[in-house]
Amino acid sequence: MKLSAPIYHLKRQARLLSREGKIALHEALDRVAAQEGFTSWSLLAAKAAEAAPAGRLFVQLAPGDLVLVGARPGHGKTLMSLELAVEAMKSGHRGVFFTLEYTQRDVLDRFRAIGADPTRFNDQFTFDSSDAISAAYVVKALGSAPRGTLVVIDYLQLLDQKRENPDLMAQVRTLKAFARDRGLILVFI
């Protein structure tokens, strides 16, 4: 669903139309909704509320971007990140999920929880749960990844869990430079 303007602009248009046309506000809202292709304002508002936040966020991302997804435990960070990967794959890009926390079965269950069919993306999605995950590992694994690939790293803090790995900031700088050079979108949880 793509509106010609944000909801608050459309409401403002309706208020102006109501004043200028001396019509009831609900009628003006319905007219604005009709211009947007909806039968009523309530339907437009419901569809706008349904639109997934990941879809709205994904269209704002560009190759080379870094995204940090943060929230309290159990508040949907992994689901939001997987939704971003699904949006990328729907757009014809690849999705890659590096994790030190989840099994492949867990991730497939989360795909289903967000209403995505994992079999639809078999050739576009890569899951990696190696114990060796670090910036160097990610760079090596994504050496041939096409531009626009969306990469999720779950959890960022675990990258420097092993003492032989560089500190976290050094790894983030490495990943940032790599993402910019290769045109990848990195999502850190």
Q: Is residue 87 part of a domain?
A: yes
Domain CATH for 82: 3.40.50.300
Residue pLDDT tens, the chain, 189 long = 677 887 888 999 999 999 999 999 999 999 999 999 999 999 988 887 666 688 878 888 999 999 999 988 888 899 999 999 999 999 999 999 999 889 999 999 998 888 888 899 989 999 999 999 999 999 999 999 999 999 999 988 878 778 888 888 999 999 999 999 999 999 999
Full residue range of the structural domain in which residue 18 is found? 7-51
What is the token pair recorded at 64?
A: 């080379």
Task: Specify whether 184 is located in the same domain as 151.
Answer: yes
Q: Is the peptide bond before 155 cis (omega within 30 degrees of 0)?
A: yes
Task: Specify whether 152 is located in the same domain as 65.
Answer: yes
Kindly report whether the global pTM for this prediction surpasses the value 0.75: no
| Residue 150 · residue 98 · CB < 8 Å | no
Task: Specify whether 34 is located in the same domain as 72.
Answer: no
Task: Specify whether 87 is located in the same domain as 106.
Answer: yes
Angle at 184 between CA 152 and CA 101, to 5 degrees: 15
